[in-house]
Amino acid sequence: MNLEPESYSSQHIPLESVKCFLSETLPQLGWNRSSKEDVVLDVGCGPGGTTFQLVLPLFPGVKKIFAVDLVPAAIEFAKRHNSHQLIEYSVANFEDWSILSQWEGKITRLVSIYCFNWLKDQRNAFQNVFKLLKKGGEAAICFSTESSYYDAILKVQNDPKWSCFLKDIENLIPESHHKKYDSSYYKKMLETTGFEIIYCRNEVITEVTSSDKKYKDFFTSMCVLTPHVPSDLKEEFKHDFMEEFLRLNGRNDKGLPLFISKVIQLVIRKP
């Protein structure tokens, strides 16, 4: 996938719903009680802002927080700007078990925020989570199942103006967006894998961004199509993408740009 860490990190905590899930929901479910023997894994940590600002405060006394992401530039940014003695950042593909096997059965808490929506095989990813967790270990996972972001991606990819560059490019839009999966689909998948479901919430979330610049920086920073557009046309492409994205989402009564998506929040336990 594409990620421009500097632009992605321009907004301190990009999504308010993420802050609420990590700082309010998880403590209510006992996630703020940790020991020096706990080992935490943050999957899809990106540039590390959420890891440092929201995940770390949940586990102030743990043995180690491992934070992984597929994008090397994101990990390098995290090491420079969001380092801490308890956090160890590394590049890893969560769909590649050969990389993950070093942590098999060792993880007490696993966190993944807006990562599973990028994965091609979510069932396999949940199986990896199961294998990584200790007996009694828990995972907190949040990701979008449907989103105006994906609709904007599809629109510009098929626009005759840009399709000559993007026709056969993998857009990483999840199957859940096309097939409209709801929580019942994921509950069945999780129970089949062997998990106990502690918490499951599926809702439409509307996020407000404090400025047009932060809105553009954040959402264009992870657009998977941008690298495939010629350099001299990238800014024009970003402009067209954001025009479509804003058209789909609109603004609030104060004129601030909105982002609408359907999100599932999960807390699951390995028996």
Read off the pLDDT of residues 113-147 as tens digits, 9 standing for 90 and up: 999 999 989 999 999 999 999 999 999 999 999 99
How many residues does the structure list for the chain?
Answer: 271
CB 195 within 8 A of CB 268: yes
- What pLDDT is stored for residue 14 in this prediction? 57
d(CA 240, CA 226): 11
| Sign (positive or negative) of CA dihedral 230, 235, 236, 238 | positive
Query: Which residues fall within 8 angstroms of residue 218, CB to CB, at 6 or more apart?
Result: 7, 8, 10, 11, 14, 209
- pLDDT tens, position by position, 58-92: 998 899 999 999 999 999 999 999 999 999 999 99
Question: How many CB atoms sit inside 10 A of residue 189's CB?
Answer: 15
What pLDDT does 13 receive? 54
Residues of the chain with pLDDT below 50 are 3, 5-12
Contact 149, 117 (CB under 8 A): no
pLDDT the model gives residue 11: 47
